Amino acid sequence: MSEKEVYKRLEGVFRDVFDDDSIRLSPSTTADDIEDWDSMEHINLIGAVEDEFGLRFKMGEVSGMKNVGEMVGIIIKRGN
């Protein structure tokens, strides 16, 4: 799966979770960039991303992710 494909699918997940069709992701996107991204929505987001890509993040991965780029990196690594 290419990085471009991952971002496209992730944008769909983010738009659904946050109910905001204007969301555009970049590698540097963080919770500070999305208005409703709080700790509760983070849990919903992680679950939705895991469902979309058919994987389960490890606790250390979830707590260590600093931005969307790191999330994409994990997804690509696991997909190969």
Structural domains in the chain, CATH included, are 3-79 (1.10.1200.10)
Read off the tokens for 70.
């790191």
Q: Residue 42's pLDDT band (boundaries 50, 70, 90)?
A: very high
Between the CA of residue 14 and those of 48, 51, 80, what are the distances in Å? 9, 13, 23
pLDDT band per the 50, 70, 90 thresholds, residue 1: confident
Place 79 in a pLDDT band, splitting at 50, 70 and 90.
confident
Helix (H, G, I), strand (E, B) or coil at 61: helix
Mean pLDDT of all residues in 9-37 = 96
Residue 10's Cβ-count burial label (10 Å; 0-12, 13-18, 19+) is: buried
pTM: 0.93
